Amino acid sequence: MCLHPTPPYAPRVRDVCAGVRECQDGTVTATRPQRVALIGQYIRLDPLTRDDLPELWAAIGDAQVFAGGYGGGPAARPADAEAYAAWAWNHWPHERGNTYVVRVASGPHAGEVVGATSLADFDEHRESAHIGWTAYSPRVWGTQVNPEAKLLLLGLAFDHGYGRVKIQTGSSNARSRAAIEKLGAVFEGIVRREQPLADGTWRDTAVFSVIVDEWPAVRAGLEARLATWGERPVLFRSVPAA
């Protein structure tokens, strides 16, 4: 039985790859991670359940979240919590991935839902996976939430033998593109007319990735960013003006 370390955070990638190969009797294929909670210093990622949908609507039902292209853009935004619950469950890649609800781990907002994200599109033969379907409450934009979520998910992927993790966003979403670049992901290019939007138009998609050889440097960069917050918990910010 292969035992993987409990986050945070994953071990150095060379040790991880060696462990996966040893567990699989010399093969180099990746293994799909189980749906279990990932615990960080500032946040925790819990496997999504239908019971989380009301809190998710309160957190990411904001018009500004959909304005950035989430879920198909502004025209896809449900009218209310009931409509969101009917729409949202089918939005996430349950069959081909692991979807998590993002909760604050400590401090005055401990336990509160602030977003959702997925690690999905697992291809064990090509050792590739995809972090996406991500949205956070505007109250936690620019905080510890996104860098620690990516640290946990990237660590999970590389810990399970994946060699490339894709992260993508709409080509016109400057805020999201800047956040991905700040993670240390490498820009691969624009895929034109890649995804239909709810208003009938099409999205050009900016594609980024982190590969196994880059993971030690990316991991160190994310840990250094998080270290600047020290012991301070996630604190909500004023919602940015629309």
User: In a structure prediction context, what are the per-residue pLDDT tens digits for the chain, which is 242 residues long?
Assistant: 333 334 445 433 334 344 444 444 456 579 999 999 999 999 999 999 999 999 999 999 999 999 989 999 999 999 999 999 999 999 999 999 999 999 999 999 999 999 999 999 999 999 999 999 999 999 999 999 999 999 999 999 999 999 999 999 999 999 999 999 999 999 999 999 999 999 999 999 999 999 999 999 999 999 999 999 999 999 999 876 55
Q: Does domain 13-162 have CATH number 3.30.70.890?
A: no
Contact 150, 119 (CB under 8 A): no
- Is the pTM higher than 0.85? yes
Contacts of residue 166, defined as CB under 8 A and 6 or more positions apart, other chains included, come to 121, 128, 129, 130, 131, 132, 207, 208, 209
Terminal CA-CA length for the chain: 51
Phi, psi of 181 (to 5 degrees): -60, -35
| Strand ranges for the chain from DSSP E | 38-39, 43-47, 97-104, 113-123, 128-136, 164-170, 186-196, 202-211
Q: Given this model, what pLDDT does residue 12 score? A: 35
Could you tell me the residue ranges of all domains in the chain? 13-162
Contacts of residue 227, defined as CB under 8 A and 6 or more positions apart, other chains included, come to none
Closest to 155 (Cα-Cα) out of 5, 43, 23: 5
Contact 107, 145 (CB under 8 A): no
| Buried residues in 103-128 as b, exposed as e (16+ CB within 10 A) | bbbeeebeebbbbbbbbbebeeeebb
Contact 153, 35 (CB under 8 A): no
